[in-house]
Amino acid sequence: MSLDGSVLLVEAPNSFVVESIEKRMYQTVLKSVQSVAGQMLDVRFYVSAIDEVPVSALDMPLAADTPVPPSLNNQYTFATFVVSESNKLAVSAAQAVSESPGTMYNPLFIYAPPGLGKTHLMHAIAYASHLKGYSVRYITSEGFTNEFIQGIRSKTTDDFRTRYRSVDVLLVDDIQFLEGKEQTLEGFFHTVNDLHTSRRQLVIASEEPPQRLSFLDPRLRSRLESGLVAYLQVPDIHTRLSILQARCRAIGVQASEDALQSLSSIDVGNIRELEGAFIRAVALATLRDGTITPVIAAEAMEVTRSTLPTQEATRVTHDQVISSVVDYYGVTINDLIGRRRSQKLLAARQAAMQIMAADLRMGVTEISKALGRDHSTVSVALKRITDTLPMDPVLQADITAIHGLLP
């Protein structure tokens, strides 16, 4: 860090840090610098050529003749995706799809609220499939709509059909935005059918499961549900810590373990909010000695907590989970919290516990009270569910269906 006239020059470990600070934190950093310096200064960030992280083989540009748009993010690979119990099923399925498109999990439907890694997985599948020699096309629902309408207007629909139905792997992101676009939905339906008939891989990402996309034609919804529907859950504190450790390694930032544990304790609703806190900490550390300390982490957390949206009024409650579970399994609330131990009731209790723990982030004590169980019973059950859920397609399907019943 050096001062050139009225400009403070700050060295950053790589271009990622520079871009992140300039896009998200510049005004905050500028005000902090001027407050500390006691004068009006400008701030400019630069990257040392020596410290810039080299591009790996996975980040090389795609061949010009491969039908994948340049909007793919080079950082979104399987190598940079942090795997945990909250996303193990989806990641395993995504890797299987990229290894052998069209042979299993076809279509693969990935859903989660914003900011939990859907697009990261989509890009990872695209890159991994391409590197194995498959033809790949990744596009958002908006891009698909624009190309479809343009094909109609320019009378090039044959070219459009060839472009989308001849690839080995088609990935369509954010299909919830197709709502209300009836003509595009019809074209999408025929595209899905053609890909399925020719055993080509389709991967879909959405903020909602298929059964909650009420605007879909029942035929299309049925087709999307016929493969694997995988849900990305909100990361727990251990996963958040792993994500932060991975980000530090990726961009070459030093951070104490205590600082990262503090940052990971923020009760965020998605990974983007966690990354926002991390970028704030990186910016503050860059202005000092370059290391994220507990003090810096505390400052970043204070700002982050003040900016997190408060939507408690619309948050799903445990009573709503219980209501959806008993509706799905066809039992009563008294059955669910009672002492009977039929196979159906055990499955219903497992589903309720998993959703409360993973989605509502309830602790063992809270779940125990909600379901009328003792603490040790719930603790043991949650451990068993965590171990067996990735290998239990029936329970996975049940939990996915229950999500569709939640408000």
Among 19, 26, 67, smallest CA distance to 47 is for 19
Residue 51 reports pLDDT greater than 90: no
Q: Which domain CATH number covers 268? A: 1.10.8.60
Q: How many domains does the chain have?
A: 4
- Residue 396 is predicted with a pLDDT of 77
> What pTM value is reported for the model?
0.63
How far is the C-alpha of 210 from the C-alpha of 212, rounded, in Å?
5
Structure token pair of residue 352: 């309720």
By 3-state DSSP, what share of the chain in percent is helix, strand and coil, each rounded to 5? 60, 10, 30
How far is the C-alpha of 105 from the C-alpha of 357, rounded, in Å?
27
Same domain, 292 and 379: no
In a domain, 52, yes or no: no
Same domain, 171 and 83: yes
Last residue of a domain, one of 310, 338, 373: 310
DSSP strand E in 250-339: where?
254-255, 291-292
Structure token pair of residue 95: 């890797």
The residue segments making up the domain with residue 400 are 314-405
Residue 271 reports pLDDT greater than 90: no
In a domain, 255, yes or no: yes
Structure token pair of residue 83: 């795997």
Same domain, 319 and 368: yes
The sign of the torsion formed by the CA atoms of 332, 338, 344, 350 equals positive
Structure token pair of residue 57: 């083989």
In a domain, 363, yes or no: yes
Same domain, 79 and 202: yes
Structure token pair of residue 362: 């309830």
- The residue type found at 11 is E
Residue partners of 23: CB distance under 8 A and separation at least 6: none
Mean pLDDT for all residues in the chain: 81
Structure token pair of residue 126: 């695209």
Give bridge partners of residue 201 from the DSSP assignment.
169
pLDDT band at 379 (very low <50, low <70, confident <90, very high): confident
Q: How far is CA 25 from CA 10, 19, 137, 240, 303, in A?
A: 14, 10, 34, 21, 11
pLDDT tens digit string along 3-35? 666 777 776 655 556 665 666 567 767 777 777
Q: How far is CA 26 from CA 32, 42, 280, 302, 397, in A?
A: 10, 10, 10, 17, 45
How far is the C-alpha of 370 from the C-alpha of 372, rounded, in Å?
6
How far is the C-alpha of 377 from the C-alpha of 373, rounded, in Å?
7
Residue partners of 28: CB distance under 8 A and separation at least 6: 280, 283, 303
Same domain, 111 and 16: no
**In contact, 167 and 200? CB cutoff 8 Å:** yes
pLDDT tens digit string along 74-131? 778 898 888 887 788 889 999 999 999 998 899 999 998 888 889 899 999 999 998 8
Among 75, 73, 43, smallest CA distance to 56 is for 75
Q: Report long-range pairs for 364-367 (Cβ below 8 Å, ≥24 apart).
A: 366/318, 367/318
Same domain, 336 and 349: yes
DSSP strand E in 181-289: where?
201-206, 228-231, 254-255
Same domain, 151 and 33: no
